[in-house]
Structure 1
Amino acid sequence: MADRPEGRRSSRPRIALLTHTFPEQIGEFAFLAPEISRLANDFDVVLIPSQVARANLWPLPPGVWLQSGFSEYRPRWSVMLASLFRAVAFPSTYREMLAFGWRGLSPRVAATVVARASRIMSARQWFRRYLSRSDVDAVYSWWADGFGYGMAWAASDLGIPSVARAHGYEVFDERDRLGRIPFQRETIASFDLIFPVSQAGAAFLSHKFPAAAERIRVRYLGVEPSPGDGLRSTDGVFRILSCSSCIEVKRVELLASGILELAREHPQFKFQWTHIGDGPTLQFARDLIRSAPDMHERCYFPGVLPPSTVRKWMAERPYDVFVNVSSSEGLPVTLMEAASSGIPLVATDVGGNSEIVQDQVGYLLPRDPTPRQLADVLYEFSLLHPVDVQTMSLSAKQVWANQFSADSNYARFVQDLCSVSDDVPNPPR
């Protein structure tokens, strides 16, 4: 599956869309599939993953093509070596090292900065060749990261407009393992328009880069309607659901500690916890649960499930609360999915979580809750009167319909892309 020959194209605008792994049905798939399905109604879309899409590919709708050239180009030794030389010769590489102060002299920081600069260079080289012969009207990166910067730089060289979404890890410095995001200023400046997926992300970027503020516009992601009305428990068992990768920022082990505290403080309380997802911290969470007698019978870890299965579970199984305790976020799609099924929400007050966990929808935890605080909130939820639970459930669905509907949000985004070449302010280059 590849882009059609350059001489053949429809009368519709053509957009090159840079992803990480999509259309492989992992990672971005749950978030991008609804968007691509709608973009394809108005555009010819060329998907360009930065990583080789090998298996379990999403069947592409009419009007969408896969161009795998970039992901095949990057791993070549000759390309990696040339990109490394260009990175070392890139003046911004040394400015980025200096921005870290004395830490920029450490091998860890210096090597990371050079490696990221080489990504920018490899993307710029490939996209300059590709865009010069592809008859693309605009480029769109789903992430405001180094690969996106390289693509936008190449597009600027050729006079092609560029846009990007900005989520969490490419927005907030605490998400970067260096504690600061290298090349972020240049990345934001390289795009004609930046679309953060949360108000929090937009505010952060606008404050950090005021010269770019007029080119930063919030555009929420969206999810489809729930496949069912959603159920609440009726058997006296309080059911807790969470869904995320098991990585440090998601703090699944903190949630496990809160669950243990809940059991210790209220030994007669009947509850079950289900966590959907996998990753390096899952085993630690499992070990915490196993440290307490009989807790393994009340906790269920089904691993990674297909997005359609997750939606079906939310709609057809009785869950009383959905929990997210991340230390940093953009605006989690799983919160949107839970809200569409009418599941009340509990989440830490980080990133854009407060934009969906509104009054009557759930409860915002502090940024760094203790296990005891989490346990207390969950227990308080279990004591709510059924009328209050129903009100909260209806409010969650209303927030989804008003702010996070795929139909509404992607229709607006399509309009943004249609007009991108006409109304973008001139970015500094």
Structure 2
Amino acid sequence: MNRNLILITDTYPFGAVAESFLDKEIPYLSSFFNSIIIVPRNFPAEIEKVERKMPDNVVIDTSLLKYFTNKKIKRILFIKIIVGSILFYKEILKRPKIFFDIRALKKTIYYLLSAYLVKNWVLNFLKQNNSNLSQTLFYTYWLGSSTMGVNLVKKDNNLIKVISRAHRYDIYEDLYIPKYLPFRNESMSINRIFCISNHGMKYIINHYPFLKSICSISYLGVEKPDFISQPSFDSIFRIVSCSYIVPVKRIHLIILALKEFAKKRPELKIKWTHIGYGRLFDQIKKEATSLLSNNIIANFTGYLSDNLFYNFYKTNPIDVFINVSASEGIPVSIMEAQSFGIPVIATAVGGTPEIVTEDVGILLSENPSPEEIANAIEFFIDNPEITKRMRLKSIENWEKNFNAVKNFTEFAKTLKMI
């Protein structure tokens, strides 16, 4: 039975948004383990930096950050990889095309470099702490080079136990150009893989059938809010979206859909609020200003802290939530919307069809036209009774499938027994 958990992250707990899902998970893990050590690899961008209060038995270990910021260590490892890493040349022999694609070659080298950094950190950590490996579990939040790094140590010491969550970017190779993720066998041959969606689990098993016995689904979740969102009772229809403003989220599609809707129904007024920021923030704001007519109000809040985020949903009527992303695991933003009782319009990508059905919203095609999205918005406006039923069903769906108490308690229990 495991008493100690070592959680390797990217930037958590220092990043405001990236990996913020862990805010909901950590309290449950801390109630099942005697001690938790969180080990981030990187500092976030300055705009993302936050401070978090952790449970008493959770410690932040920043020593791995020193490995990833030490240019001398990285330069030495880089040379070792190029000169004589058996793993590197095995990967080249397995996929010879890598050698002729500079992007794939760089990805392979830096993936392996990161894995070696984590491996060296693990070896040093075990040496310094004299850990009881029979009671210790390594948990990598992403199924990537950190997982491989721990696994390289595990190959020489089978007492080490390592599990990983698998989300989206760490699963789907076709998200990349070229369509390739390095060292899949070395990164995935671990004790357990917990996929956040059934879609992701099927993808892994289809591509790597030998992993079927260690793969399972473990949905993320959100906690029960102390309110239920209210619909609009005036002449304005209110839409909310929430995400990073980056290309994969296709926020420009929402703008084009609203432009199309305004032409179809010029007599109706819509207020669209987007919560979140990202590198396309200014560009998207300019597009909204230039393309949307007077009957469409666009509001961009930027990043909202947890308190401001929940206060927004609590104090503003909201009629529908929209997500038109080109790729997803299962969006936590949709879990949150459903917990508030808000129906959803979303694209049928990744695991999204596991949370959005005809009972709780409208599932768009993977690559919807602005007209398709505009028609979905129009449906909610023209069918208030159906929308009312969807609001109730949304809460039921959250309670059944995405309740943090149920999901994270079960997950923590499972980790305890590995």
- After TM superposition, the score normalised by the length of structure 2 is 0.92
Contact 1:256 1:289 in 2 (8 A): yes
Deviation at 1:181, TM superposition (A): 1.5
2:252 matched to 1:253?
A: yes
Instruction: Name the residue aligned to 2:113.
Output: 118
Counterparts of 1:74 and 1:62, CA distance in 2: 27
SS in 2 for 1:220: coil
Q: How many angstroms does 1:414 deviate by? A: 1.0
> 1:86 & 1:38 partners in 2: Cα distance?
41
1:282–1:257 CA distance, 2 compared to 1 (3 A): farther
The residue that corresponds to 2:275 in the other structure is 276
In the superposition, relative to structure 1, how do residues 265 and 297 fare at CA in structure 2: closer, same or farther (>3 Å)?
closer
- Which residue of structure 2 lines up, in the alignment, with residue 398 of structure 1? 396
Q: Where in structure 2 are the equivalents of 1:75-114 lying within 5 Å?
A: 75-88=69-82, 89-97=84-92, 102=97, 104-114=99-109
Aligned mate of 1:36, from 26, 32, 42:
26
SS at match of 1:149: helix
For 2:125, the equivalent position in structure 1 comes to 130
- 1:118-171 residue CA offsets vs partner (Å, 9 max, x unmatched): 111111111111123331511001111112221232244332110000001101
State the partner residue of 1:427. Answer: none
Give 1:336's aligned residue: 335
Show the counterpart of 2:239: 240
Contact 2:325 2:347 (8 Å CA) reproduced: yes
Matched, 1:51 2:42: yes
Q: Distance in 2 between matches of 1:145 and 1:220?
A: 19
Cα deviation digits, residues 171-206 of structure 1 (max 9, x gap): 1113234322222232112x2100000010011101
Q: CA deviation at 1:418?
A: 1.1
Taking the aligned partners of 1:161 and 1:80, their CA distance within structure 2 comes to 26
Q: Aligned with 2:287: secondary structure?
A: helix
Could you say which residue in structure 2 is the equivalent of 1:361?
360
Equivalent residue runs for 1:171-210 within 5 Å: 171-189=171-189, 191-210=190-209
| Alpha-carbon contact 1:49-1:70 (below 8 Å) kept | yes
Spell out, residue by residue over 1:243-293, the C-alpha distance to the aligned partner (whole angstroms, 9 max, x if none): 001111111112221122111222112111111111122333223222236
Gaps of 5+ in 2: none
Gaps spanning 5+ residues in structure 1: where?
A: 1-10, 421-429
Q: Deviations over 1:375-429 (max 9, x none)?
A: 11111111112x3222101100001001101100011001111111xxxxxxxxx
After TM superposition, give the deviation of residue 86 of structure 1 in Å: 3.5
Counterpart in the other structure of 1:23: 13
Match of 1:423 in 2: none
Displacement of 1:227 in angstroms is 2.9
1:309: how far off? 2.4
The alignment's TM-score, normalised by the length of structure 1, stands at 0.90
Q: 2-side partners of 1:234 and 1:207: how far apart?
A: 48
Identity rate of aligned residues, in percent? 27
Q: In the alignment, residue 183 of structure 2 is paired with which amino acid?
A: F
* Count of equivalent residues: 408
Helix, strand or coil at the partner of 1:206: helix
Secondary structure class of the residue paired with 2:219: coil
RMSD: 2.0
Displacement of 1:78? 2.0
Match of 2:65 in 1: 71
In structure 2, the partner of 1:164 is 164
